[in-house]
Chains A and B, each alone.
Chain A
Amino acid sequence: MPTGRVIFPEWRLFHRDGAYPFAEGTSRVNAEGRVIPDSVFVDGRLHPVGGLSDMYLSAVTLTAGSVEIEVSDDNGAVASCEVDLSSPPQVLSLQDELERPSGVLVLSSTGALETFSSWSPGRHEFLPSQTRFDAAICIPQPQSGVRGFQIPDGSVFWGNVYLVGERGVAFTVTDDDEIRMDVAGDPLFRRRVAQENGASFSTPRFVKTVNNLDPDSRGDMQITPGSNLTDSPVLRINPMLGGLKIKVIDG
């Protein structure tokens, strides 16, 4: 690289002295009087999923030993990055609330964030008019298509996703190319549990017939007192918890 070129300073060097990556006309000073010097950020690219074009640095939060940078658009926070000040990087990797990559902010040096160490601990907020980013670094990323599967514990799955039928649940493909889910049960689950626990297990023998009679389609067998030829049958069969109570009524 030729040296001594002062007309065209290097990219990062050039932007140490200007608003970029913030838009021209922004103050970089919030209501508390906190100032983000031009020399802190020199470049960036923001592409959070669902992010709009007008993104801005909405907050700098200082805690013991760390700094969190928050980026928002008109709908609220869209990305953030927490930096350990004991080993600060020069490139801040931003993520959204689902921990998906949302862009980068490039610092002028690894020590650039020390600027914030003079601020009081806590959250320091900024308005769009103060810290709106230059349009060139904001890449709107529409929420089109399926962006991911999220399960109740907050985990998100993307890329090549497996849907796995487990323990009595089966996923198959129908002739119409649909995803079919069957919940057919796990008839041998006691064997599985026994083996997982190291216990012995003997194969159960299910009752399938009574006197060679099959149950009905719901698996139910009816035992009745017999014919009703008499007006006062003595045999009674009454249901109880877990079984039947059979008794005879004295004549």
Chain B
Amino acid sequence: MADTDFLNVNAGRSYPLIYPGDSSLDSSVILDAGFVMGLSAVFEHPDDYLYLRKVYREQETIYFDVRSNADGMAGQHFLFSFPVDSTWGDYSVVDASPVEQGDWPQPISSSSSGQAVSPGVEDQDIGFAYLCVGNVELLLETLSSDGTELWTSSQPMFEPAVIQSLYGHYVKSVTLANEPRITADTCVDGSSSSLSQQGSSSSSQPADVVIPTSGESRTGAQVFFAGYNATIDTRDDDNALVLGARLGAGEGLPCEEIPRTPYEELLLAAGYKLDLADRCGDVLFTINGVPPLNSGEFLLEADGSGIIQRSSGQITLAVEVRKSCDNSVVESEF
């Protein structure tokens, strides 16, 4: 009676590869496999897949090279290694790693097969995997000496159910950035501004980019701090972090320029204004506590006999006061 243990059964069928397997690789060589594709692999069922690209020998080690057509797997592979004297049921657990320079034929679905691209970069979020082997001795009949390879003729794919994709499952990092500030062609005093911002041309309208606050992506626990006019609250019922604004909240009203990048700190140190932000007390917002109309206009109205005369930069208020007794007129000017 046949041995029906899981690995024994798999030795007689293509699993974990999809049937029909590659006739150049006996089904008893690979018995089981499992892949956890990390967030950076950008692996999406059902369009993406993993396939066995080749098997080769270097000295006393046999390598199984597994690759994928997933976007994040370009230049990456799972490279499993086994000693040539591996026995039934031995397994190897590996992280995805960059391929060697120049060693990257495109996936089997690509029309540009054979074109090499640059290796990927080290990234612990690509994924990890295991591969379990069985009859390695049979494989050694083909890979008899150092440097020999077994190119799988049809590059067989792995069963989709042995692949777990974590794409979209977690936040990998947080990068702080800010929209470029708009800049003025001329300063308030009328002089020409020589300030040119990152991400913008000499025009006052910034380019459609964002500028990272620093070059570092943030990971791990994060703490939010409410700065000028800012509120940071939590809402338990829907687990929300609420970033809000309220005049005077947080650190109160801003009374200083806020450099958003190290570059802007240099600008400030050099005496530039950033976005002509008005510091506390620099500009009139209200008179006697009264704000202007929505148009920004502030009204001075003289009642009765008052007269307001306006000239450039100057308001003259004259009122006539009639004394009730002699009906004489006195004109006063403020």
Contacts and interface: CB of A to CB of B under 8 A. Distances in A.
23 contacts: A93-B44, A93-B46, A101-B169, A106-B160, A159-B172, A164-B177, A178-B224, A181-B226, A182-B258, A185-B229, A187-B276, A187-B278, A188-B184, A191-B182, A217-B280, A218-B285, A242-B292, A242-B297, A243-B299, A243-B301, A245-B303, A247-B303, A248-B306
Interface stretch (A56-64, A69-77, A204-212): A204-212
A191 B10 CA distance: 70
B245 interface: yes
B213 interface: yes
Given A100-B168, A184-B254, A243 B19 contact: no
Interface in B110-168: 159-168
A33 interface: no
A182 B182 CA distance: 17
Contacts of B76: none
Given A166-B179, A172-B260, A106 B161 contact: yes
B19 A13 contact: yes
Contact of A160 (B22, B165, B217): B217
- A-B pairs, 5 with minimum CB distance: A243-B299, A8-B12, A247-B303, A219-B285, A182-B227
Contacts of A9: 13
Interface stretch (A23-31, A112-120, A141-149): A141-149
A182 B232 CA distance: 11
A206 B161 contact: no
A236 B319 CA distance: 12
Interface of B: 2, 9-16, 19-23, 27, 39-40, 44-46, 159-179, 181-186, 188, 204-205, 210, 212-214, 217-218, 222-230, 232, 243, 245, 250-251, 253-255, 258-260, 275-278, 280-293, 297-306, 317, 319, 321-324, 332, 334
Contacts of A250: 321-322, 324
Contacts of B230: 181-183
Contact of B188 (A196, A206, A241): A206
B45 A91 contact: yes
Given A10-B14, A158-B171, A246-B301, A104 B210 contact: no
A220 B287 contact: yes
Contacts of B334: 246
A161 B173 contact: yes
Nearest to A89: B46
Given A203-B188, A241-B293, 11 more contacts: A2-B27, A9-B13, A11-B159, A91-B160, A162-B212, A163-B175, A169-B245, A170-B178, A181-B224, A182-B251, A220-B284
Given A8-B2, A11-B15, A167-B179, A192 B205 contact: yes
A247 B302 contact: yes
B208 to A, nearest CB: 11
A146 B289 contact: no
A1 B288 contact: no
Contacts of B293: 241-243
Contact of A161 (B162, B171, B185): B171
A178 B224 CA distance: 6
A137 interface: yes
Contacts of A35: none
A101 B287 contact: no
Nearest to B247: A183
A106 B15 CA distance: 14
A40 interface: no
A164 B178 contact: yes
A154 interface: no
A172 to B, nearest CB: 6
Given A91-B160, A137-B161, A166-B179, A181 B169 contact: no
A174 B174 contact: no
Nearest to A241: B293
A217 B188 CA distance: 20
A49 B166 CA distance: 9
Contact of B276 (A7, A188, A244): A188
B27 A1 contact: yes
Contacts of B162: 45
Interface string A202-235: 0101111010001111111111000000000010
B281 A101 contact: no
